[in-house]
Chain A
Amino acid sequence: MSFDASASDWRYSVDRAALIQRLSAVLPAESLLVDEEDLRPYESDGLTAYRCLPSLVVLPADESQVRAVLRICHQFRAPVVPRGAATGLSGGATPHPDGVVVSLARLKKILRIDPLARTAVVQPGVRNLAVSEAAAPYGLYYAPDPSSQIACTIGGNVAENSGGVHCLKYGLTVHNVLRVRGLTSDGEEVEFGGGGLDAPGYDLLAVVIGSEGLLALITEITVRLTPKPLLAQVAIASFADVRRAGEAVAGIIAAGIVPAGLEMMDRKAIHAVEPYVNAGYDLDAEAILLCEADGTPDEVAEEIARVRTVLENSGASEVRVSVSEAERLRFWAGRKAAFPAVGRMTPDYLCMDGTIPRKRLADMLEAIEILSTKYGLRCANVFHAGDGNLHPLIMYDANRPGELDRAAAFGAEILELSVRFGGTITGEHGVGLEKVDLMAAQFGCGEIAAFHRLKAAFDEPGLFNPGKGVPTLARCREYILARAGTTSSILANR
């Protein structure tokens, strides 16, 4: 798939030669990529089904170079695509054919760690895990832990409002960032949030977090650090059917427990992961739940006992509790490796990201099973069950004609169903290019128009990540018209 769908609405005419000339005056030669062979590695992000060669790639070394680049792009009315580690799964960092990819990979300094204030000030290209590693000597860590945390950058996390397996208790990126410094598309410096817990005026920090690089280019971030709990233990429960596992999730919450993590994997996911990481998962189970408790040793013991009771009452066929930190990490390693493990089973896969009310988990799994047959494609499921955030992994082979289109249609049906269940098309991966048309499944034209006005309040010329995040009004209307009266049978029955 390429950019063409949306891009036809978003073409820019940029004098490339003149742009190169101006950029080379502010950047050293090695920081400006212009040849096709150098541009090729940037043609996609983690959503490899979408590819597009950028016009240029720049690799600024500091904020002043970023500003100079933005000013020039602004003069040329050239689209700008910010890029972190490109682990994004919605095509947010997919290049624009007429645009400049601004890689933040070289802005990777941890500027300050203040253990007393429990904050770290970092550049956007710093890797998520590097923050926790740097904070570890002080007994602190950065709580949001996307499974991609070894590679993904804080800038990308802020842009996507990324979550992790511990965000039920510790929050998403938006709950753990105090201040963001950035540049608007005309290169002007802006600061959102501040030194305290709030800032005067509108909460622009909350708007910029999760804005997918459409509002501002982020150049510096102050994150909040969290004290490491004294102890963490994970209970792992096997279920002979997924409905029971779904009920156990609701049961844990109903018991007044907010676990540090609550994750679910179905049979296909378990079978993908186990041979790959030997996490010790039960291969006979239809679904497993991982439920983590953290705190003081007494607190953990108390919570694990309560969790065990709920799990057993919900019909778990087996409950095991990690007995050492090594075992706890091994149990998690399986969950965290789920995407690459599934990746080994198939030439290609698409990762969906809907969120639904928890009580619909089992309904959704059953629906996915039916859709899997309908489209003739396998699907493994991993869920951030505690938040109702689903990651169905649809397996396909891009080299077989029509399979990608089938996979995309399969995914779209899951997301439309998520909306019908009272949820959303994306819980943490963002809309990007991938789901831009599906925004119309969730929002009406009024909201879409308001999003465009909001965008223009930050980025008037519309240079940041054009074509992503929000569909044009014309496409929104088209979608609504096309869908009128064509609800698929699976949707109609639910």
Chain B
Amino acid sequence: MDPLIAEWQERIRSAAAAGERLVLRGSGSKTFYGGMVSGTPLEVAAYRGIIAYEPTELVVTARAGTTLRDLAAVLAEKGQWLPCEPPHFGPSATVGGMLACGLSGPGRATAGAVRDFVLGVKLLTGNGEVLSFGGQVMKNVAGYDVPRLIAGSLGTLGLVLEVSMKVLPRPVAEKSIRLAVGEREALTWLNRWGGQPLPISASVWHQGVLTVRLSGAAAAVAAAQEKLAGEALDESEAAAFWWALREQTHDFFSGEAPLWRLSLPSVAGPQDLGTTLIEWGGAQRWLRGGDPATLRAAASAVGGHATLFRGDPALKAAIGVFQPLSAPLLRIHRRLKTAFDPHGVLNHGRLYPDF
């Protein structure tokens, strides 16, 4: 066993025995995200490096401390990437943090989320066991899908050691276009276009401007560009624009007001809850500030949910970061937590306050 893993195993076991809580920390790029944790920090970014990468298998396996930047560079050499475009939110963001937070970028609505690209995971559980689930192949239904369960579990079920992901070739052609349009109409257009065979790979509406990214074969992108008839962005401007959205360096995200993320059916109409930025063809809507109860009620009324994506500790403590779960789901959550972390050692409170 790798000495680092052995060390962490010992650390977790002794914490479990002493009733101590640990807070897992990769590079710290996403520390802002999730509920209030308490416990002794355990730095886990040192276990890094790519273990296996075979471009013709479309699979990469990396240690969890590998930076997303290094991973992207290695994939780019072979013309491949992670189409879910996980945000970095910091220069040294890690693969483990990507999986634990489960956040995806602009491409999510069409390409899929982080969870859609995870094939396998090696975990150090709260019991100090090293367990491997899933694998390195595209199709694998042996055993429950623990790798996807870990995506977005915020380190509450185990310390992620290694991750296998499906990767894809980068699209050959890409073009972004801009159209002036109101919110309601933009939502209608996006949903209509979603039902047509158009190579739309990302979209954002904000303050009367709809920006759409087209990706794929050159012929398909050109045809779609003609059909949607917007003003084309030049290549470097487009790249900077989508990066700013992915990394939340776009102006909309600056300032101290709480940042809310509403995950809604794409067809839900304008919510009239304040200034908004709409991504994912209508399925992800960002808001600054607003009354938490109103936001949560509005989201659940249409079958979605609201997350306090960025906010100060007092607000998080008062209203919780994630939409409350139904009683049966909460019961399953608690039992799952116990199944992987029976002593409650790992990241207590990061997902829901009582586990």
Give A residues with C-beta under 8 Å from B. Answer: 114-118, 138-140, 160-161, 163, 167-168, 171-172, 174-175, 184, 188-191, 194-204, 206-207, 209-211, 215, 225, 227-230, 250-251, 253-254, 256-258, 295-296, 298-299, 301-303, 355-359, 384, 387-389, 422-431, 435, 439, 442-444, 446-447, 450-451, 453-458, 460, 469-470
Contacts and interface: CB of A to CB of B under 8 A. Distances in A.
Contacts of A454: 144, 146, 336, 339
A418 B145 CA distance: 19
B79 interface: yes
The 10 closest A-B pairs by CB, nearest first: A195-B303, A298-B219, A206-B148, A457-B335, A196-B263, A453-B339, A427-B139, A256-B169, A299-B217, A299-B220
Q: Which of B113, B144, B220 has the most CB of A within 10 A?
A: B144
A199 B135 contact: no
Nearest to A188: B328
A422 B192 CA distance: 43
A469 to B, nearest CB: 8
Interface stretch (B2-10, B194-202, B236-244, B248-256): B194-202
Interface string B145-182: 11011011100010000000000111010000000000
Contact of B142 (A184, A201, A439): A439
B143 to A, nearest CB: 6
B194 A118 contact: yes
B147 to A, nearest CB: 9
Contacts of B338: 453, 457
Contacts of A163: 139
Nearest to A195: B303
Given A426-B141, A439-B143, A190 B263 contact: no
14 contacts: A174-B145, A175-B112, A196-B304, A200-B324, A201-B351, A202-B152, A203-B149, A207-B144, A210-B144, A227-B196, A253-B56, A258-B169, A302-B218, A439-B143
B168 A357 contact: no
Q: Which of B133, B143, B198, B283 has the most CB of A within 10 A?
A: B143
Given A201-B329, A228-B197, A299-B216, A424 B303 contact: no
Contacts of A190: 326, 328-329, 332
Contacts of A204: 149, 329, 332
B39 to A, nearest CB: 20
Nearest to A418: B137
B312 interface: no
B223 to A, nearest CB: 5
Contacts of A424: 135, 137, 139-142
A54 B220 CA distance: 54
Contacts of B153: 202-203
A359 B143 contact: no
Given A428-B141, A450-B125, A207 B54 contact: no
A111 B79 CA distance: 43
Contacts of A118: 191, 194-195
Contacts of A299: 216-217, 219-220
Q: Which of A175, A197, A256, A455 has the most CB of B within 10 A?
A: A197
B141 A431 contact: yes
B141 A430 contact: yes
A450 B339 contact: yes
B318 interface: no
A258 B83 CA distance: 13
A184 B303 CA distance: 21
A203 B351 contact: no
Contact of A191 (B216, B220, B326): B326
Contacts of B11: none
B56 to A, nearest CB: 4
A357 B136 contact: yes
A206 B138 CA distance: 15
A166 B333 CA distance: 34
Contacts of A446: 129-131
Interface string B300-321: 0011110100000000000000
A387 B56 contact: no
B55 to A, nearest CB: 7
A334 to B, nearest CB: 22
Contacts, number: 263
A206 B145 contact: yes
A389 B264 CA distance: 35
A363 to B, nearest CB: 14
Contacts of A225: 195
B139 A355 contact: yes
B223 A296 contact: yes
A93 B322 CA distance: 37
A453 B338 CA distance: 9
B286 interface: no
Nearest to B335: A457
Contacts of B136: 357, 422-423
A470 B141 CA distance: 12
A172 B263 contact: no
Given A450-B340, A454-B144, A295 B220 contact: yes
B57 A359 contact: yes
Given A230-B197, A256-B79, A447-B133, 18 more contacts: A114-B267, A118-B194, A160-B141, A195-B264, A202-B149, A202-B351, A203-B151, A253-B56, A256-B169, A257-B169, A295-B216, A298-B219, A356-B137, A357-B137, A424-B135, A428-B139, A450-B129, A457-B339
A384 B169 CA distance: 20
A427 B140 contact: yes
B142 A425 contact: yes
A258 B113 contact: no
B85 to A, nearest CB: 14
Interface string B57-71: 111000000000000
A197 B280 contact: yes
B289 interface: no
B143 A196 contact: no
Contacts of A161: 141, 145
Given A194-B305, A197-B283, A253-B56, A115 B195 contact: yes
Nearest to B116: A175
A117 B313 CA distance: 36
B27 interface: no
Contacts of A469: 143
Contact of B219 (A198, A206, A302): A302
Nearest to A231: B197
Nearest to B193: A227
B339 A456 contact: yes
B205 interface: no
Contacts of B143: 431, 439, 442-443, 447, 451, 469-470
A215 to B, nearest CB: 8
Interface string B216-236: 111110010000000000000
B217 A295 contact: yes
Contacts of A184: 328
Nearest to B80: A256
